[in-house]
Amino acid sequence: MTEEKKKKDSQLILSLREGVGLVQMIVFKQIRESLLKKNCGGDQQETPMLAGAITNEIFGTRNPDPRFALFRKEHRGEIEQQLLGLKDDHEFLCRHITDALRIQTLCDDQEGGDSTDTLVRAKNYGYLLEDREIPLPSTFMTVVRELGRQHNLIVPPVQITPDQDESMVH
């Protein structure tokens, strides 16, 4: 493999991982809002921690900070209940979670890792949409950008005129 090909592949993986990260942020926001509406998670400080713990479980990431590890251990039952209800409570998100988990697994595989356990866990909890096709990278990124725009997490680039360009500070 040529150096140029390796560099392009590396850039693609980085871009795809950013897309997965954006889906994670959206999942966190949606779960946090849902928990606040249900009055789950106790106080204002605990709700974001619970939403973060649930999001981390979905994507197979662990926060190594002892405070968060202890929180996860103490709230394991509540986290599992939320994961079991994810398919019903956040049906719209399941397709994006499915795509992001599959892309994450492909990226990990390209880098020599194995995160298929997140797919197995998603299937077991019922929020992996198995019949959904794996998206092409360009399709995934297009969908994620639109999703990020809808949730006010990204501002898409806009076309400017030459006059507008001249008035901007460079």
Q: For 79-101, what is each residue's pLDDT tens digit?
A: 999 999 999 999 999 999 999 99
> Is residue 35 very low, low, confident or very high in pLDDT (cuts 50, 70, 90)?
very high
Separation CA 136–CA 115 (nearest Å): 19
DSSP string, 67-119: HHHHHHHHTHHHHHHHHHHHHHHTHHHHHHHHHHHHHHHHHHHHTT---HHHH
- pTM of the entire predicted model: 0.84
Q: For 38-53, what is each residue's pLDDT tens digit?
A: 876 567 788 999 999 9
